[in-house]
Amino acid sequence: MATPRTMRAVQYDKYGGGAEGLKHVEVPVPSPKKGEVLLKMEAASINPIDWKIQKGMLRPFLPGKFPFTPVGDLAGEVVELGSGVTNFKPGDKVISISFPSGGGLAEYAVAPASLTVARPPEEFRRTPCVQHGANNLMARQQLDDIGMASLRRQSVNVAGGKAMRRCYL
């Protein structure tokens, strides 16, 4: 199925405004640049950083420009690859982080391939995985950094927030 030219998204065009500042809009589908993947969104998780950005607590740095489509923890299906991306193919189910560019509150979003991983097996539902996307990807990267990549693809307990979570890295 061909990717459409436009999509529905939720955006805001200035700091502040809370929920009333969010607007439902029709915008062009983004194109992945070098090292990026285009995802057909299936789930997104709103983090505290998202309302802080909207409130203006990170100005003048974030967002880079208005209007802005918030939310950076993503789950979806790869539909298009930017140049240089070789570790994914269209149809792959993935989770990703698109911080600080956001984009998760839309039908399609681009994300860096370097911050994108194959989605865990179906026994681990996509919604909990995207809710802890940043934490899970950080834990996975740390395993690689300390030479324990052999623990990847195993279920591990990850301390996060108020509870221990079973996580597939």
Q: Where are the domains of the chain?
A: 6-119, 132-169
Cα(140)–Cα(106) distance, rounded to whole angstroms? 27
User: pLDDT confidence of 149, banded at 50, 70, 90?
Assistant: low
Q: Is the pLDDT of residue 72 over 70?
A: yes
CATH number for the segment(s) 6-119: 3.90.180.10
Q: How many residues does the chain have?
A: 169
Q: What is the mean pLDDT of residues 33-37?
A: 98
Instruction: Locate the DSSP E strands across 82-115.
Output: 93-97, 108-112
Cα(127)–Cα(74) distance, rounded to whole angstroms? 9
42: part of which helix (H) or strand (E)?
Answer: strand 36-45
